[in-house]
Amino acid sequence: MNNKIAAVILGAGKGTRMNSDLPKVMMKVKDVSMIKRIINTLENLKVDEIITVISKEGDVVKQEVAPYKTCVQEEQLGTGHAVNSAKDLLKNFDGTVLVIFGDTPLIGEETFLRCVQKVRQGFAVVVLGFETKNPARYGRLIMEGDELLKIVEYKDATEFERAIRFCNSGCMAFRGKYLFEILSKIGHENAAGEYYLTDAVEVARKMGLRCTAIQGDEHEIASANTREELALLEKYLEEKENA
């Protein structure tokens, strides 16, 4: 394994819940688009490869992330399918691959590096998690010591699992050598008929690979799906800058 880092940013989402014709990742936090904030952080980290997954109508995102590479998710078939869209660009990559949702613009360099270090320590899949007082809608991270056993969606969780406050942020890191083999084994036997990236943990463990999770700050890793959530990101960023 080499020490190179690649990042795959998921940027194919629409701005429907933002009441905007713009793709969601183009919405601005303090005058900078969410996706541009992520790229600025990755540039500071001197990441070796940055790839953004865009939709067929994603020309405005393609322009925003230039000169970095993009790939098109032809159909909206889930997060696992979105990451797999980058296969041709990363098929021989054996460093760490960060998978970042384009609506989580405030994750810092140190947090990404903590994910990378876990991959370099021998974990094939690393999930960035957080604890919150109101975890209702989030997937739960089921741990046993340092090992991440599985991610359980809230609707599928037992009462015991719902009491767990360690939640999935969506951001993950993979050893590049295994990433696309893991993705190829993810099925779509679910109500939405989609390929869920969260299933990567179960698949990797069945392959005999190790998985873990690290804890981040819930404000830093918050996402924005609505205008209200976008305003909360701006508020947190202002508080952080004024601290």
For residue 232, give the CATH number of its domain.
3.90.550.10
What mean pLDDT comes out for the span 57-82?
Answer: 95
What mean pLDDT comes out for the span 152-175?
Answer: 93
Q: What CA–CA distance (Å, rounded) separates 52 from 72?
A: 9
In whole numbers, what is the pLDDT of the chain averaged over residues? Answer: 94
Q: Are 139 and 155 in contact (CB under 8 A)?
A: no
Q: What CA–CA distance (Å, rounded) separates 57 from 138?
A: 29
Asked if omega into 135 is within 30° of 0 (cis), the reply is: no
Q: Are 39 and 68 in contact (CB under 8 A)?
A: yes
Supply the range of the domain harboring residue 170. 5-242
Give the residue, 99 or 189, on which the prediction is more confident.
99
Give the residue, 41 or 19, on which the prediction is more confident.
41
DSSP state of 10: E
**Strand 49-54 to strand 5-10: parallel, antiparallel, or no bridges (unpaired)?**
parallel
**Does pLDDT of 165 surpass 90?**
yes
What pLDDT, on a 0 to 100 scale, did the predictor assign at position 174?
Answer: 98
Lowest-confidence region among 36-50, 172-186, 226-240: 226-240
- Predicted structure pTM score: 0.96
Give the residue, 190 or 4, on which the prediction is more confident.
4
What pLDDT, on a 0 to 100 scale, did the predictor assign at position 153?
Answer: 87
- Give the pLDDT confidence of 103-137 residue by residue, as tens digits: 999 999 999 999 999 999 999 999 999 999 888 88
Residue 165 has, within 13 A of its CA and on its CB side, a CA count of 7
Q: Which residues contact 60 (CB under 8 A, 6 or more apart)?
A: 22, 23, 26
Percent of the chain with pLDDT over 90: 84
Q: How confident is the model at residue 191 (pLDDT cuts 50, 70, 90)?
A: confident
**Does pLDDT of 27 surpass 80?**
yes
**Count of structural domains within the chain:** 1
CA angle at 3 for the pair 177 and 102, rounded to the nearest 5°: 75
Q: Are 232 and 222 in contact (CB under 8 A)?
A: yes
**Does pLDDT of 16 surpass 80?**
no
What pLDDT, on a 0 to 100 scale, did the predictor assign at position 222?
Answer: 94
Reading the block at residue 115, the tokens are 């994910």
Extended strands (E) in the chain: 5-10, 28-29, 32-33, 49-54, 69-72, 96-101, 125-131, 140-144, 147-152, 166-175, 211-216
